[in-house]
Amino acid sequence: MTGEDGPVDDPPPIASHDNGGAAFAPIYSARVTVTGGASAHGRATGRALSSDGALDLDLRTPEELGGDATGTNPEQLFAAGFAASLHGALALLARRHALNPAPITVDAVVALGRDPADDGYELRADLVVHWPGVARETAAVLLAKAAELCPYSRMTRRGIPVTITLTEK
């Protein structure tokens, strides 16, 4: 993490990413700002707003953690992103193989729990794909390829480079 006066601490890298010397080339970036709210169970409540205004929602602690569940939470947002990303990758491959992607559904469950090793928080994800009208063998092969293509799936396997900066603004 870095502050305006220099490094605050120097954590070890989350994952090693060997791109064969090639630089990361962003093709799209999303910006979301979370503001306001209180904290419960180490969880923020408040509002999340994307820079383009397409995402504007209340963040609330789930009932299972003592909240009122009147908004969404990070686990739901991650589940939606993961399911949508895998769905998109599978639909792309389906079209490339002249298969109908319309009936594909992806159900994602993201669970928050405690890591028994250090009592910190961790996430687990389970995704279930339903693709009626396509032979199971064909669907399984394309699903494996989609999991390799999907950026969320890749992130969960390889980690993600993260920069956290402390600012006065």
Q: Is residue 15 part of a domain?
A: no
Q: Is residue 5 part of a domain?
A: no
**In angstroms, rounded to a whole number, what is the distance separating the alpha carbons of residues 160 and 4?**
24
Burial of 156 (0-12, 13-18, 19+ CB in 10 A): middle
Structure confidence at residue 36 (pLDDT):
84
Q: 91 and 101 in contact (C-beta within 8 Å)?
A: yes
Q: Is residue 1 part of a domain?
A: no
Summarize pLDDT for 77-127 with one digit per residue, the tens: 999 999 999 999 999 999 999 999 999 999 999 999 999 999 999 999 999
Domain count along the chain = 1
Radius of gyration of the chain (CA): 19
Q: Is residue 41 part of a domain?
A: yes
State mean pLDDT over 133-162.
96
Q: Is residue 86 part of a domain?
A: no
Angle, vertex CA 164, rays to CA 159 and CA 169, nearest 5:
155
Instruction: For residue 66, give its domain range.
Output: 31-72
Query: Is 52's pLDDT higher than 80?
Result: yes
The mean pLDDT value of the chain amounts to: 88
Structure confidence at residue 41 (pLDDT):
58
Q: Is residue 35 part of a domain?
A: yes
Q: Is residue 104 part of a domain?
A: no
Structure confidence at residue 23 (pLDDT):
84
Element housing 46 (H / E): strand 46-50
Structure confidence at residue 105 (pLDDT):
98
Q: Is residue 49 part of a domain?
A: yes
The pTM is what? 0.83
Structure confidence at residue 13 (pLDDT):
44
Using the CB atoms, write b or e for 51-89: b if 16+ within 10 Å. eeeeeeeebbbbeeeebeeebebbbebbbebbbebbbbb
